[in-house]
Amino acid sequence: MQLSIIISTRNRAKQLALALSSVFTQSLSCNLYEVIVVDNGSIDETQQIVSEFSATHDNIVYAFQSVPGLHNCRHLGMRLAKADYLVFTDDDIQASPSWLESLYCSFADHRAVIATGNILPIYADNPPKWVDYLWTRNEWGMVLGHFSLLDFGTQRKEVPADFVWGCNFAIQKELLLDVGGFHPDAMPYELRRFRGDGETHVSNELNSRGITALFHPQALVHHYIGSERLTVDYLC
């Protein structure tokens, strides 16, 4: 069994370099995963960064997606993926060394078809006090949906597919194809009325089939929260 890691990116070369560094310092053998970077029209050093990693790693692939939209990139990555299990993440994460091994274990040992783990913050600046009040508690743990943060503790557990979010989204490829993939949801401002429901479509379909996700606490990524997001204007 192998994993295909799919990272969509656009004009975030420096953050992408940090993300890739963390992906290539995993406890899981590099023979068990490939990394597919899908570039959505970057004009910075993104392609150069990927080339630098490919000079020392033979399991990284660069692809260019000219059609705008996050999920257009994810679908291209899915089509290119050689593995039966896909791991979608963002270009502004830093993965813990146990991330991929824990997801691999979720599929290989626990027979999961969709899996995730904690998503904790790396704040660019000290967050305003009001950020603390954005966290909400449910029966599985704590979430801060505005920043795609999730803290479900230290125990493996089954959770609704609604809590498998894009920066830590692992799924059986056959299942994702069967539910029709992601509906597009990254659209220009003036075309917002045409946008789809992205990951929500996938989780809704899995919910309707009674399929739950496996949460593995060591499948941990840290999500970078930039200064521009720590404002009331951003939340509005």
**Would you state the pLDDT for residue 55?**
97
pLDDT tens-place string over residues 23-59: 999 999 999 999 999 999 999 999 999 999 999 999 9
How does the average pLDDT of the chain come out, rounded?
Answer: 94
**Would you state the pLDDT for residue 170?**
98
pLDDT tier at 200, thresholds 50, 70, 90: confident
pTM to 2 decimal places = 0.94
62-66, 120-124, 126-130, 197-201: the lowest-pLDDT one = 197-201
The answer, yes or no, to whether residue 184 has pLDDT greater than 80, is: no
- DSSP string across the chain: --EEEEEEESS-HHHHHHHHHHHTS-SS-GGGEEEEEEESS--SSHHHHHHHHHTT-TTEEEEE--S--HHHHHHHHHHH--SSEEEEEETTEEE-TTHHHHHHHHHHTT--SEEE--EEEEESSPPPGGGGGG-EE-SS-EEEGGGTEEE--SS-EEE-GGG--GGGEEEEHHHHHHTT-PBP----GGGGGG---HHHHHHHHHHHTT--EEE-TTS-EEEEE-GGGSSHHHH-
**Would you state the pLDDT for residue 68?**
86
